[in-house]
Amino acid sequence: MTGNLRLGFHAPATVREISDLVAEAAHAKIPLEVRGRGSKYEVGRYVQSGSVVSTEHLVGISLYEPSELVLSAAAGTPLDDIRGILAEHGQQLAFEPIDLGPALGAPAGQSSIGGVFATNLSGGRRIQAGAARDHLLGVTCVNGWGEPFKSGGRVMKNVTGYDLCKAVAGSWGTLAVMTEVTMKVLPAAAETRTLLCFGLPDQTAVDVMCFCLGTPFEISGTVHLQAPLAARLSDPDIAKGGAAVTAIRVENFPSSARYRVSRLKERLAAYSPAVELDTTRSCTFWEEIRTLRMFAGSNRPLWRISTIPSRAAKLVAIIARTLDIRVSYDWSGGLIWLETPLTSDAGTVEIRRAIAEFGGHATLIRAERATRASVDVFQPLDPPLATLTTRLKSAFDPAGILNAGRMYPGV
Amino acid sequence: MSLLTLPKPDEAILGRRDEIIRQLRQLVPNASLIVDQEGRRTFETDALTAYRCMPLAVVLPESTEEVSTILRYCHDNKIKVVPRGAGTSLSGGALPLEDSIVLGISRMTRVLSIDETNRVARVEAGVTNIAITNAAAVHGYFYAPDPSSQLACTLAGNIAMNAGGAHCLKYGVTTNNLLALRIVLMNGGIVDIGGDYLDAPGYDFLGLITGSEGQFGVVTEATVRLLKAPEGARPMLLGFDSCEAAGACVAGIIAAGIVPVAIEFMDKPAIQVCENFAGAGYPLDVEAMLIVEVEGSDDEIDSLLDTIAEVAERYGPRVVRPSKSAEESASIWKGRKAAFGAIGQLSDYYCMDGVIPLAKLPEALAEVAEICRRHRFRVVNIFHAGDGNLHPLILYNANDRAELERAELCGAEILKLCVKLGGCLTGEHGVGIEKRELMRVQFTAADIAQQMRVKTVFDPDWLLNPAKVFPLEGRERQ
């Protein structure tokens, strides 16, 4: 351990080896890029590390108890393996993890389960079922000293000690290397129905979606795609319509799903819900939303904005005054995916200014490396929160070697 | 395990009590300060009443700024602070220290705003849990976490302990329903985290602070998610000849793809006590009973209860009684809701809070019975079965110090059993002082060290609620 860490790519098959590698890097103060299967390599601030530690060889599902709604897997296990085994048992990851692959010019289905939790990327069902972090029951990790530690467990309720699962979820590998994750899984609904309204202006669409979430029908998806984006989906009724589409999803037992959709239709009559997708078409539609099909095949910068749902359309309108943008709204407006023109700052100035006025935060998901090296990819934090962030980083990784600078400079 | 001890008080601080009170008087209005013996006595314990300790003084601030002023003063003078909500902690989370000031949040009770469109409520953190739902109910909404102390407990305490409740099987616990908070750190710094949107930027400090047992800061305001009330809800009562069959039925319901809003379990002693007390019409000839509640329209509820009855048939139920009306529903819940009061009239009890994997339920109940038999205690089991959160109530005589000590030993054995079966020490009550010394049963030294490092991110001098959560031994080395 004399600071001559082998540079290059390391994909150990054991926690012990990861632990040794991190300890060695910490001792030598050599930055270490932390990676799952690398599907989100091109997201975040661009940083160069001589050494990479990947969990892609830490694979396998060690526990799956369908009647207890729990599954444990090594961090490098492909997400699709987990989705597959859950589907065989009529279950799912209810937070519907977003797959950034297609938007980044790669195939879908390349994520590791560790990467899903490390980035806390939740999909359309987040409004009803919670985020990725809400489903993470337990983790084992290696911290920046190279020490393995665990937090949480395999049971549904657990307040024993601090919830360090929350700290590592969404930390983009900057606090620890996750080696195993235990998650809550849930039954998949037997029936999915989706109501579509066409041609609604953004503000009206947001109003409709917020209205739907205020009904007792447990709406599990609300998205609105502006016309140019809607045209990129495969459903013939949507693609050929040439209009913006607003989609409302209901999932339940068949009789309940039908009942709830019929009640919704009555309440939305003024907005002419013209099409009702059955389970098969619904699943295709929502899978395309989950894999961001509407943003595939483009190299324009792509932003992910989290904001107050009812203000989303106004926020977008302000940005649209100066930038040529294409927008889809998820979470009834609470989540905005926004494509900007290819400029050197990817529209950062306009977007951050609008966020400052309307509230929320923005992350630059897709952009050239040069752009990502020159702008704040993640939302800059207020000073008190920035101080806590630096201190938390030090509490896990005092040498500052794990994915150093991936989220914020010096973190 | 012997009775829990508190760390030796700092004599220098005790000696400065008069001076500290004089200085506090200059910082907060007299009405916010309690220094007399009788006044302080109210705050010397919480719902873990076996432990009592008189603090130096009690401060009940009325604003975030006052909280900040007090904490900064205590920080600069190295005075320990024990934050307190309503004092309903069952794990001694709000137990004072002799050389500490109790900072109570109970006067900050305003509901600041209800936003129907975005389905959020902004409140001061001293508001009671039920008051949030009451304020939202006029709009047809509710706040989901519902700990059984919800009439009294504060949101600040719920956040500190990550409180759950009967309905968290479907709706999650506090951490899943919190969008923003304002927290005052020990140095007086005020930090705002999150907003009226679903995820906060950067590290998940919301999630990290929730369940930190008042050791990171004092939460003064919070924004919570509101949910639309369902069209209706009705329970079904299922009785079985054995705890095993009832436990297997719970797993069977979940495996059938149904996540009821609540599944409550009562064993025979619990059924008898509740029936005697409330006359709820419970079957007295069964060994175990489930109350399973589902939500939706009337037709949906009928259909779901039919499906549950079909599942239950596989486990040989003695009683299958779906509620057909609001009156029946009320009567089914009447006994359950009266349970703790009913048992309290019979005897003092020590309420455990371990969690086990659902499949281990029969094994766990059998072993809990055996442990209690060995320690010569009666035990009553009433708990949230859907998530495996056991609440064995050990019946004992609180006036007999030796018996308390035995009850604690018995409880510790039960919690160790939960960990051995793959579960954990506490599902919703928190570690507090009660389970502090058991942390090593669940965690390695490295696990605990990592948690303690996170504590120092917020409070490097260990002044906030310091004697809780972690074993005292070895603390000095941190």
Question: CATH number, domain at A93?
Answer: 3.30.465.10
- The string of pLDDT tens digits covering residues B33-58 is 999 999 999 999 999 998 999 999 99
Domain boundary residue among A293, A327, A358? Answer: A293
Residue pairs spanning A and B at CB distance below 8 A: 247
**What pLDDT is attached to residue A1?**
41
Q: Do A161 and B388 touch (CB under 8 A)?
A: no
Q: Do B450 and A147 touch (CB under 8 A)?
A: yes
- The string of pLDDT tens digits covering residues B58-110 is 999 999 999 999 999 999 999 999 999 999 999 999 999 999 999 999 999 99
Within the 106-125 window of chain A, which residues sit less than 8 Å (CB to CB) from chain B? 120, 122
Alpha carbons B316 and A348: distance in angstroms, whole number: 64
Q: Does A398 touch chain B (CB under 8 A)?
A: no
Average pLDDT of the segment spanning B23-41: 96
Residues in A closer than 8 angstroms to B454, CB to CB, are 162, 164, 167, 392, 395
Using DSSP, state whether A197 is helix, strand or coil.
strand
Residues in B closer than 8 angstroms to A69, CB to CB, are 254
Residue A236: CA count within 13 A, CB half-sphere? 0
Asked if residue A141 and residue A19 are part of one domain, the reply reads yes
Alpha carbons A358 and B325: distance in angstroms, whole number: 47
Q: Do A170 and B204 touch (CB under 8 A)?
A: yes
Using DSSP, state whether B113 is helix, strand or coil.
strand
Q: Which one, of B380, B441, B445, lies nearest residue B412 by Cα?
A: B441
**What pLDDT is attached to residue B166?**
82
Domain boundary residue among A293, A312, A347? Answer: A293
Asked if residue A273 and residue A343 are part of one domain, the reply reads no
Q: Do B197 and A381 touch (CB under 8 A)?
A: no
Q: Do B303 and A255 touch (CB under 8 A)?
A: yes
Asked if residue A312 and residue A263 are part of one domain, the reply reads no
Within the 61-90 window of chain B, which residues sit less than 8 Å (CB to CB) from chain A? none
Q: Does B350 touch chain A (CB under 8 A)?
A: no
Q: Which one, of B128, B104, B5, B107, lies nearest residue B55 by Cα?
A: B104
**What pLDDT is attached to residue A2?**
42
Average pLDDT of the segment spanning B121-149: 96
Among the partner-chain residues A122, A310, A392, the one whose CB lies closest to the CB of B118 is: A310
Within the 10-29 window of chain A, which residues sit less than 8 Å (CB to CB) from chain B? none
CA A165 to chain centre: 16
pLDDT band, residue B4 (cuts 50/70/90): confident
Asked if residue A219 and residue A131 are part of one domain, the reply reads no
Q: Do A156 and B254 touch (CB under 8 A)?
A: no
Q: In terms of CA atoms, which chain B residue is nearest residue A163?
A: B208
Q: Does A69 touch chain B (CB under 8 A)?
A: yes
Q: Do A216 and B229 touch (CB under 8 A)?
A: yes
With pLDDT > 90 as the criterion, what percentage of chain A qualifies? Answer: 95
- The string of pLDDT tens digits covering residues B168-179 is 889 999 999 999
Domain that holds residue A239: 191-293
**What pLDDT is attached to residue A274?**
85
Q: Does A391 touch chain B (CB under 8 A)?
A: yes
Residues in B closer than 8 angstroms to A157, CB to CB, are 164, 168, 173, 355, 384, 387-389, 427-428
- The string of pLDDT tens digits covering residues B350-407 is 999 999 998 899 899 999 999 999 999 999 999 889 899 999 999 999 999 999 999 9
Domain count, chain A: 3
**What pLDDT is attached to residue B167?**
86
Q: What is the mean pLDDT of chain A?
A: 96
Average pLDDT of the segment spanning A248-252: 97
Among the partner-chain residues A210, A307, A396, the one whose CB lies closest to the CB of B117 is: A210
Asked if residue A214 and residue A181 are part of one domain, the reply reads no
Q: Do A161 and B448 touch (CB under 8 A)?
A: yes
Q: Specify the pTM.
A: 0.97
Alpha carbons B108 and A399: distance in angstroms, whole number: 41
Strand order of the β-sheet with B233-240 is B319-322, B233-240, B288-295, B262-267, B378-384, B392-396, B348-351
DSSP per-residue string spanning B297-343: SHHHHHHHHHHHHHHHHTT--SEEEE--SHHHHHHHHHHHHHHHHHH
Q: Which one, of A151, A158, A162, A390, lies nearest residue B215 by Cα?
A: A162
Q: Does A203 touch chain B (CB under 8 A)?
A: no
Asked if residue A8 and residue A147 are part of one domain, the reply reads yes
Asked if residue A279 and residue A145 are part of one domain, the reply reads no
Domain limits, CATH 3.30.465.10, in chain B: 1-229+445-478
Instruction: Tell whether the model's pLDDT for residue A82 goes beyond 90.
Output: yes
Q: Do A154 and B357 touch (CB under 8 A)?
A: yes
Name the token pair of A272.
């002419």
Instruction: Tell whether the model's pLDDT for residue A4 goes beyond 60.
Output: no
For residues B345 and B19, which has the higher predicted lDDT (pLDDT)? Answer: B19
> Under 8 Å CB-to-CB from A16, ≥6 apart: which residues?
none
Among the partner-chain residues B228, B300, B431, the one whose CB lies closest to the CB of A214 is: B228
Q: Does A329 touch chain B (CB under 8 A)?
A: no
Q: Do A155 and B230 touch (CB under 8 A)?
A: no
pLDDT band, residue A49 (cuts 50/70/90): confident
Q: Which one, of B219, B193, B188, lies nearest residue B205 by Cα?
A: B193
Asked if residue A180 and residue A158 are part of one domain, the reply reads yes
Identity of the amino acid at B266: M
> What is the third-level CATH fold of B233-420?
Vanillyl-alcohol Oxidase; Chain A, domain 3 (3.40.462)
Among the partner-chain residues B259, B355, B435, the one whose CB lies closest to the CB of A157 is: B355
Q: Do B457 and A391 touch (CB under 8 A)?
A: yes
Identity of the amino acid at A313: A
Question: How far from each other are the two terminal CA atoms of chain B, in whole angstroms?
Answer: 24
With pLDDT > 70 as the criterion, what percentage of chain A qualifies? Answer: 99
**What pLDDT is attached to residue A47?**
80
Average pLDDT of the segment spanning A116-134: 97
Cβ neighbours around B475 below 10 Å, total: 13
Name the token pair of B99.
């050389």
- The string of pLDDT tens digits covering residues A202-217 is 999 999 999 999 999 9
Within the 207-236 window of chain A, which residues sit less than 8 Å (CB to CB) from chain B? 210, 213-216
Using DSSP, state whether A138 is helix, strand or coil.
strand
Asked if residue A283 and residue A197 are part of one domain, the reply reads yes
**What pLDDT is attached to residue B269?**
93
pLDDT band, residue B165 (cuts 50/70/90): confident
**What pLDDT is attached to residue A27?**
95
Q: Do A391 and B423 touch (CB under 8 A)?
A: no
Q: Which residue has the tokens 């994750």?
A: A181
Q: Do B251 and A153 touch (CB under 8 A)?
A: no
Min distance A392 CA to chain B CA atoms (Å) = 6
Within the 418-447 window of chain B, which residues sit less than 8 Å (CB to CB) from chain A? 422-431, 435, 439, 442-444, 446-447
- The string of pLDDT tens digits covering residues B219-270 is 999 999 999 999 999 999 999 999 989 999 998 999 899 999 999 999 999 9
Name the token pair of A131.
């985020």
Domain limits, CATH 3.40.462.10, in chain B: 233-420
Q: What is the ipTM of this complex?
A: 0.97
Name the token pair of B432.
């507090």
Asked if residue A132 and residue A4 are part of one domain, the reply reads yes
Q: Do B203 and A170 touch (CB under 8 A)?
A: yes
Min distance A166 CA to chain B CA atoms (Å) = 5
Min distance A291 CA to chain B CA atoms (Å) = 20
Average pLDDT of the segment spanning A147-158: 97
Asked if residue A323 and residue A274 are part of one domain, the reply reads no
Question: CATH number, domain at A215?
Answer: 3.30.70.2190
In CATH, what number does B1-229+445-478 get? 3.30.465.10
Please tell me what DSSP assigns to residue B398.
T
E strands along A87-238, which residues? 91-92, 136-143, 148-152, 176-184, 186-187, 191-198, 221-225
**What pLDDT is attached to residue B337?**
84
- The string of pLDDT tens digits covering residues A333-358 is 999 999 999 999 999 999 999 999 99
Asked if residue A123 and residue A6 are part of one domain, the reply reads yes
Among the partner-chain residues B176, B299, B430, the one whose CB lies closest to the CB of A134 is: B176
- Is residue B473 classed exposed, middle or buried when 0-12, 13-18 and 19+ CB atoms within 10 A define those classes? exposed
Alpha carbons A332 and A325: distance in angstroms, whole number: 19
**What pLDDT is attached to residue B1?**
41
Q: In terms of CA atoms, which chain B residue is nearest residue A207?
A: B117
**What pLDDT is attached to residue B298?**
95
Among the partner-chain residues A133, A253, A306, the one whose CB lies closest to the CB of B197 is: A306
